[in-house]
Amino acid sequence: MPTCLETESQEMRISPLITALFFSACALAPLGAQDVEDVFSRVQGSVVTLRVASRSPIPLPDGRVGSDQGLGSGVLFTEEGDILTASHVVQTADVVAVEFPNGMVRRAEIISSDPVADVARVRLVEAIPEGFHPAPLGNSDDVRVGSQVLVVGAPFGVGHTLSVGHVSARRLTLSGKATLREVEYFQTDAAIYPGNSGGPMFNLDGEIVGIVSHLVRAPGVTSGGLGFAVTSNVVRQLVVEGRAFWSGVDDVIVQGALSEALNIPDGKTGFLIQRVAVGSPCEALGLQGGSLRAEIEGEAYLIGGDILLGVMGIPVELDRTREIQELLRGMNSGDELEMVVLRAGKVVGLTGVLNLPGSAR
């Protein structure tokens, strides 16, 4: 028969095993409501609403052309007042206003924007209101499919709305603008609505692991859908450690039958300029957007503006668009930028000295 001392010794020997099993079970357990509340309370002060305005014309569904006013979400991530958001929220904005949770509004300027990845960085031109602090930028490589995430934003303009879900998949997709560039996204089942664009996706440590980009729905469906967020490591590469050139331009690739319809010389490829933001580098260069709405093969376009044919001697061709992007990414204030456009049927050269806003570093 074992003594009391031997019994105690046996209990002590099995205790580490029990402890390990206990903590393993805790690690697998889903986060409770109280835990979600705690994470939200830590991060909500970093989430902002972006209200943008543009005097550039946009084609309206009824055939008219109007001006643009919109909103999106964003997240403060540096003490200097830098905010991450989606490129499509601010790319052609003339004015960017940042609204904090207490209703205070601060002006911001666009520092960098990558329309292909749909991520942008803006910076406050006024001080951060007291009581608000940035959220840390996390490592999206640490996020696993099935991880619980929080999305905070302003769906339909209703600020600081929380939705909770999981990372449903990691998607490496070929994004638009005919660049054939791969961009990594998180697919999520967390609810995403118009106005959430540019808002942060947080992990359970309150770190930013994604920036909400878009929602995909089946044709004719008006609810539900698949939500996607650009991963934080892509964001870091393009607009935090890197410097995506903000052109202030919304454009459409022109090739094939559309190229012929617009009388591009020799049927070459070009970018049909839709809108140009006031105060942007390309507006200062003299680039002109469209003003007439036209429907071609079921798609609405603004025509009458410039068609970009070349940048710094590089022709606009499908296999050279990345080369152009990298060249622009490396340009600084004071550098001379040259473009060639088709304007009113004539090939015109545009030259100007860049005056880039802020610094993306």
Domain ranges (residues) in the chain: 42-124, 140-240, 249-353
Name the one residue in this structure whose structure tokens are 């005097």: 55
Same CATH fold, 249-353 and 140-240?
A: no
Cα→Cα distances 95→74, 86, 102, 261, Å: 15, 15, 21, 34
Average pLDDT over residues 194-221: 90
- The alpha carbon torsion through 235, 236, 238, 241 (nearest 10 deg) reads 160
Judged against a pLDDT cut of 60, whether residue 9 lies above it is answered with no
Would you state the pLDDT for residue 180? 52
Q: What is the pLDDT of residues 249-267, one digit of tens each?
A: 999 988 887 888 888 888 7
Q: What is the Cα–Cα distance from 225 to 190, expressed in whole angstroms?
A: 10
Average pLDDT along the chain: 84
Q: Counting runs of H as helices and runs of E as strands, what totals does the chain give?
A: 7, 20
Three-state DSSP class for residue 55: strand
List Cβ neighbours of 152 (8 Å cut-off, separation of 6 or more): 40, 43, 44, 47, 73, 160, 161, 162, 163, 199, 200, 202
Q: Is the pLDDT of residue 335 over 90?
A: yes
CATH fold for the domain made of 249-353:
Pdz3 Domain (2.30.42)
- CATH no. of 42-124: 2.40.10.10
pLDDT at 360 over 90: no
Q: How far apart are CA 187 and CA 154, in angstroms?
A: 19
CB–CB of 87/239 below 8 Å? no
Identify the pLDDT of residue 134.
Answer: 97
CATH T-level assignment (fold) for domain 140-240:
Thrombin, subunit H (2.40.10)
The amino acid sitting at 341 is V
Higher pLDDT, 157 or 185: 185
Read off the tokens for 353: 């000295």
pTM of the model: 0.84
> What phi, psi does 213 have (nearest 5°)?
-110, -60
- The more confidently predicted of residues 239 and 217 is 239
For the segment 289-308, the average pLDDT, to the nearest whole number, is 87
pLDDT tens digit string along 155-178?
988 888 999 999 999 998 765 544
Percent of the chain surpassing pLDDT 70: 82
Using alpha carbons only, give the angle 186, 188, 191 rounded to the nearest 5 degrees.
Answer: 140
Q: Do β-strands 200-202 and 182-188 pair in parallel, antiparallel, or remain unpaired?
A: unpaired
Q: Is the pLDDT of residue 58 over 70?
A: no
Tokens of 72: 């999106």
Q: Which two tokens stand for residue 123?
A: 């910076």
pLDDT at 203 over 50: yes
Residues classed as catalytic: 88, 118, 197
Say what the pLDDT of residue 157 is.
Answer: 85
What is the pLDDT at residue 140?
A: 97
pLDDT at 4 (0 to 100): 38
